[in-house]
Amino acid sequence: MIRYLLSRVGQSLVLLFLVSLIGFMVLNLAPGGPLSQFALTPGMTKETLDRIAEQMGLNRPLPVQYADWLWHLVQGDWGKSFRDGRPVLTIINGHLFATLLLMGSSTLLSVVIGTWIGIRSAVRQGSAFDYIATVAAMIALSIPTFWFGLVSIFVFSLWLGWLPAGNMYTVGDGSLPDIAIHLIMPSFVLALVNVAVWSRYMRSATLDVISQDFVRTAQAKGLAPRRVLMKHIVGNAMVPMITLAGMQLPTLLGGALVTETVFTWPGMGRLFLDSLGYQDYPVVMGLLVFSAVLVLVGNLLADLLAAVVDPRIRLD
Amino acid sequence: MTDPVLSVRGLTVTLPREMDRRHAAENVSFDLQRGEILCIIGESGSGKSVTASAVMGLLPAVMKVAGGQVLYAGRDLLAMPEAARRALRGRSLSMIFQDPLSALNPLMTVGAQIDEVLAAHGWRDREKRTAKVLDLLTEIGLPDPPLLRHQYPFRLSGGQRQRVMIAIALALDPDVLIADEPTTALDVTTQAQILELIRTIQRRKGMSVMFITHDFGVVADIADRVIVMEKGLLVEQGAAAQVLTAPEHPYTRRLIAAVPRLRETDRVAELEAPVILRVEALHKTYRSRSGFLGHTRVVPAVRDVGFELRRGRTLGVVGESGSGKSSMGKVLMKLTDADGGRILLDGRDILPLTEAEFRPLRPRIQMVFQDPYASLNPRQTVGASLTVGPVAQGMVRSEARARAAAILAQVGLDPSAYDRFPHEFSGGQRQRVGIARALMFDPEVLIADEAVSALDVSIQAQILELLAQVQAVRHLAMIFITHDLRVASQICDEVLVMHKGRVVESGTPARIFRAPEQDYTRRLVAAIPGSRWDSAA
């Protein structure tokens, strides 16, 4: 078990290294570079630019810059923003809660709704419900998140005026109910695709289990249908779902990026886009590594949880 | 004698419309007497399992009861509301199934699964339930119940799992136990133990058992009365002794005639036939390395096995699951590496050859697999499956096609089979396709791994006959791997008995089965179901 954990952590470190290396290369392939924003300042001279580059260490060869960044990172120094000089970790920390809140609530929504739809579709395979759920999932999967976000804003904020169009709280308020109202639309929009994915997988996982012999055994024991469904069918159908949840994390992060932008939600996704626009490389790199860590940790937790639930999965 | 616990009257179950017949069971009537073991025997598709499921109220959704009554304690089960029926299930009527691994929930400990049936029928006191679970585990003969009840099913052997199933079924002392092929998936020795257990408990509790099987040997061992079913119809019923020794219906007679028996005499063989395959000191050990840095699990599968196979002769390899017989087949086919020894195919050691060096020799040694459905590509026509190998070996396509047509005829299939897909065939026909596929290469050695184990007896007899016929025509050498000693005695010239990777005994079938020298062989032979009936017949 401990050996398994060590080996997983080892693999994750290698992956993180690769992610950061590729991220760094791609960033520096992009035209412009961090200095381009200064270049537009009126009265900027070549000498001043060179001096700034020297101060920021940007005049060094790229491998040296990367090695320097990595060396500081392993010591816990994630660097400082080019934009305002604040430490990267502080900036990420300022946006972390908003993103976790959004991702958490939308995951909860998609798991609860998706599981329910999936089970019901499977139990009533071929019914009107199943048919509608199938079509709806297909539609949900083909609608781009940003479009759905914009339409929701149009309908619920502009037309009906029920929900705020953006931000996480009203300026000067920030109470729990206020945040909750702001949360509704973005978390539903972000959940939509995941509900579709989740319900499809849950449906097929449930169908796989429903026809298995132990379900018949459970019925032969004289168990109530509800117990057969929840304990025997859903219990077994959930095992592959745990792994799926881990694998869905990157999608969720990507979706959060779009959703946060549409709803001006002050999370990591918006921070990422903003920083990219300013070519604020330390923050972009920090976010990249941070999300990679989130995904890897999430997947590790999912695998551990699956092993706890299913004794046949051996982690060693 | 007329004290029926359960009476089935005119039971008719309909099949979905697209099936080839309308009724899975039609107008079936019989009584289950108190304290008797009633065997329902028939081939696949005879409606025996459907009848049992209908009695339990566990029919798959696509099948509907169209008529009849199932009377239990004066009430018609079929007319009862579902809730009332559910209260009887697991308490008054219990059921055990064929495959005890898939019949147990993999995520629940065996203790919890026994406990559940008690809780479902009103045992509220947790401590009483736990005590009962321990009692039951002891009663069915499982070791160390306090430890075992916390185990998950996958940790148990097949026999132990079936014992757990029996514990679940017997937890509430039901009047009727329905056993649907409960020993079919088990080894002969385990089968004998489970049959013994069911019989013992049935006698002790005076319970009635409805035992579904396709094996007349099993019937001979435990049945008081027998019902024979064919294509949904009950064709014969009567006392076991009478049906087994003086069957009236032609179908029953055919079935009984098809049951493989231990032969008294050996096949006459020409000794001077040349040796085609010689195996010396073969070793195969499985090493499963777990994870990176993980410690290695070492399982010796084949240990120091050697034999000689002559052209036109058949070598049987028998043993229980895990004895190494299938591993040996895989090594011979070079589907997996060996760790030592020599495999001389026509004098040439094929073991050290690389895959590329061996490929030209592959046609000479071919295999027929157990599951004819799983071993054929479902998306390829039979013709494509037959010709792909020879064409890859360099045969011209038109020649391969002509050859396939000839071989399909030889294995008794219609020429139209060439363009059809595997799912359009019955199990027996698919196995014919499997044999045809192997014959396409015109092999010198044919390895048949449990090639008839999944088939009904009548089909089994046909396939065995086909193999014998093909062997005679082509002068094939055959290695016949099977767990069924009766089948081995039918078709083999010589038999190797394997146990834990070693050959414990070898000789002609008549010698091995009539006068076994080793304890293990004796145990195997004693466990053959229906041995008493066999010698009487």
- Residues A303-315 have pLDDT tens digits of 888 888 888 887 7
Give contacts of B102 with chain A, Cβ < 8 Å: 212-214
Note whether B97 contacts A213, CB cutoff 8 Å. Answer: yes
Q: CA–CA distance from A61 to each of A19, A67, B408 (Å)?
A: 20, 10, 72
| Nearest CA-CA distance, residue A311 and chain B, Å | 7
A132 Cβ contact partners less than 8 Å away, ≥ 6 residues apart: none
Question: Nearest CB to A217: which of B88, B103, B293?
Answer: B103
* pLDDT exceeds cutoff 80 at B462: yes
Instruction: Supply A206's token pair.
Output: 């449930």
Q: How many domains does chain A have?
A: 1
Cβ distance B106 to A214 less than 8 Å, yes or no, reads yes
Is A211 contained in some domain? yes
Nearest CA distance, B452 vs chain A (angstrom):
24
| Cβ contact B219:B226 at 8 Å | yes
pLDDT higher than 90, residue B31: yes
The pLDDT assigned to B19 comes to 66
CB-closest option in B120, B290, B292 to A223: B120
- Residues of B within 8 A of A224 (CB-CB) are 86, 120
* Residue found under tokens 């390395």: B289
**Does the distance separating the beta carbons of A311 and B90 come in below 8 Å?**
no
Q: Which tens digit of pLDDT belongs to each residue from B73-130? A: 889 999 999 999 999 999 999 999 888 888 999 999 999 999 999 999 988 999 999 9
Average pLDDT score, chain A: 87
Tell me what the pLDDT averaged over chain B comes to: 87
| R_g of chain A computed on alpha carbons | 24
The structural domains of chain B, with segments of one domain joined by +, span 277-536
Nearest residue on chain B to A239, alpha-carbon basis: B107
A311: chain B residues, CB-CB within 8 Å: 106-107, 152, 154
**Assigned CATH topology for domain B277-536:** Rossmann fold (3.40.50)
Report the residue of chain B nearest A219, measured CA to CA. B58
pLDDT given for residue B105 in this prediction: 93
Choose from A1, A209, A214, A215 for mutation: most chain B CBs within 10 A: A214
* Out of A3, A222, A239, closest to residue B86 by CB: A222
Provide the shortest C-alpha distance from residue B71 to chain A (in Å): 18
Mutate to test the interface with B, among A217, A229, A312, A315 (most CBs of B within 10 A): A217
Inter-chain residue contact A235 with B58, CB threshold 8 Å:
no
Question: Predicted ipTM?
Answer: 0.80
Which of B107, B113, B150, B212 should be substituted to probe chain A, the one whose Cβ sees the most A Cβ atoms within 10 Å? B107
B225-230 and B233-239 beta bridge pairing: antiparallel
Tens of pLDDT, residues B84-95: 999 999 999 999
The C-alpha of A217 sits at a distance from chain B's nearest C-alpha, in angstroms, of 6
Residue A239, domain member (yes or no): yes
3 state DSSP class of B239? strand
Provide the chain A residues 221-260 that lie in CB contact (below 8 A) with chain B: 221-224, 227, 231-232, 235-236, 239
As a whole number of angstroms, the distance between CA B404 and CA B420 comes to: 13
Distance CA B375, CA B372 (A): 5
Q: What is the mean pLDDT of residues B18-40?
A: 88
Q: Which amino acid is at B228?
A: V
Domain that holds residue A211: 97-279
pLDDT of residue B133: 94
* A311 assigned to some structural domain: no
pLDDT for position B270 = 62
Residues of B in contact with A216 (CB under 8 A): 58, 97, 103
The candidate with the shortest Cα–Cα distance to B209, out of B367, B363, B34, B45, is B34
Task: Give the model confidence (pLDDT) of B408-446 as tens digits.
Answer: 888 888 888 888 888 888 778 888 888 888 888 889 999
Q: Which of B535, B515, B522, B2 is nearest to B225 (CA)?
A: B2
* CB-CB under 8 Å, A227 with B86: no
User: For strand B93-96 and strand B445-449, is the pairing parallel, antiparallel, or unpaired?
Assistant: unpaired
Structure confidence at residue B415 (pLDDT): 85
Asked if pLDDT for residue A282 goes beyond 80, the answer is: yes
User: Rounded CA gap, A232 and A249, in Å?
Assistant: 27
Burial readout A159-184 (b: 16 or more C-beta within 10 A, e: otherwise): eeeebbbbebbeeeeeeeeebebbbb
Contact A212 B58 (CB under 8 A): no
Give the number of A-B residue pairs with CB atoms closer than 8 Å: 84
| Contact at CB, B105 and A232, closer than 8 angstroms | yes
**What's the pLDDT at B72?**
92
**Mind telling me how many Å the CA of A209 is from chain B's nearest CA?**
10
Average pLDDT over residues A259-271: 88
**For residue A29, what are the CA distances in angstroms to A135, A185, B9?**
42, 37, 82
Does residue B231 or residue B296 have the better pLDDT? Answer: B231
- Residue B537 in this model has a pLDDT that exceeds 60: no
Q: How far apart are CA B267 and CA B495, in angstroms?
A: 12
- CB contacts, 8 Å: A213 with chain B: 97, 99, 102-103
Pairwise pLDDT comparison (B192 vs B428), residue with the higher score? B192
Q: Is A68 inside a domain boundary?
A: no
Q: Is the dihedral of CA A271, A274, A280, A284 positive or negative?
A: positive
Chain B partners of A7 at a C-beta cutoff of 8 Å?
A: 291-293
Token pair in block for residue A187: 């978390």
Average pLDDT over residues A95-123: 92
Q: Which of residues 186-225 of A touch B (CB under 8 A)?
A: 212-214, 216-224
Q: Which residues of B touch A (CB under 8 A)?
A: 56, 58, 86-91, 94-95, 97, 99, 102-108, 116-117, 120-121, 152, 154, 165, 168-169, 290-294
- The residue among B375, B383, B350, B380 whose CA lies nearest residue B365 is B350
Nearest CA in chain B to A123: B61
Q: Give dist(CA A284, CA A291) in Å, integer.
A: 11
- The whole-number average pLDDT for the span A167-192 is 84
- Joined together, the tokens standing for residue A40 give 């537009």
Does the pLDDT at position B536 exceed 50? Answer: no
Please say whether the beta carbons of A247 and A299 come within 8 A: yes
Give percent of chain B above pLDDT 90: 30
Residue A150 has pLDDT above 50, yes or no: yes
pLDDT range class, residue A59, cuts 50, 70, 90: confident
Query: Would you say residue B11 has pLDDT above 90?
Result: yes
- What's the pLDDT tens digit per position in B292-310? 445 567 778 888 999 999 9
Q: Which residue has the higher pLDDT, A135 or B288?
A: A135
pLDDT, tens digit (0-9, with 9 covering 90-100), for B474-503 = 889 999 999 888 888 888 989 999 998 899
Three-state DSSP class for residue B449? strand
CB-CB under 8 Å, B104 with A217 = yes
Mean pLDDT of B257-262: 80
Q: Are B326 and B498 in contact (CB under 8 A)?
A: no
Three-class secondary structure of residue B300 per DSSP = strand
Q: Average pLDDT, stretch A69-74?
A: 87
pLDDT of amino acid A181: 85
Tokens of B33: 């007497």
Q: Does residue A171 lie in a domain region?
A: yes
DSSP single-letter state for residue A166: S
Is A303 near chain B, with CB under 8 Å? no
Percent of chain A with pLDDT over 90: 25
Q: Given an 8 Å threshold on Cβ–Cβ distance, is B86 in contact with A224?
A: yes
CB contact under 8 A, A219 and B99: no
Alpha-carbon gap: B448 to the closest alpha carbon of chain A (Å): 29
Q: From the CA of B476, how many Å to the nearest CA of chain A?
A: 41
Show the tokens assigned to B162. 């079936």
Of B290, B300, B213, the C-alpha closest to B502 is: B300
Among partner residues A220, A227, A309, which is closest to B95 by beta-carbon distance?
A: A220
Q: Could you tell me what percent of chain B has a pLDDT over 70?
A: 95
In this complex, do B291 and A3 lie within 8 Å of one another by their Cβ atoms? Answer: yes
Pairwise CA distance, residues B503 & B318, whole Å: 10
Tokens of A2: 């401990």
Residue B535: the pLDDT is: 45
**pLDDT for the residue numbered B291:** 47
Mean pLDDT calculated for residue range A207-225: 91
Mean pLDDT of B201-212: 92
| Nearest neighbour of A221 by CB, restricted to B120, B154, B294 | B120
Task: Determine, yes or no, domain membership for A299.
Answer: no
Q: What is the pLDDT of residues A16-42, one digit of tens each?
A: 999 999 988 888 887 777 777 777 777
Distance CA B400, CA B188 (A): 42
Sign of CA dihedral B499, B501, B504, B509: positive
Give the pLDDT band (50/70/90) at residue B141: confident
* pLDDT tens digits along B347-358: 889 888 888 888
CB contact under 8 A, A222 and B294: no
B-chain residue closest to A11, CA distance: B292
Q: What is the CATH number of the domain that holds A197?
A: 1.10.3720.10
Chain B closest-CA separation from residue A218 CA (Å): 8
Question: Does the residue A193 lie in any domain?
Answer: yes
Which tens digit of pLDDT belongs to each residue from B232-250?
A: 899 999 999 899 888 999 9
- Cβ separation B103–A214 shorter than 8 A: yes
Residue A86 lies in a domain: no
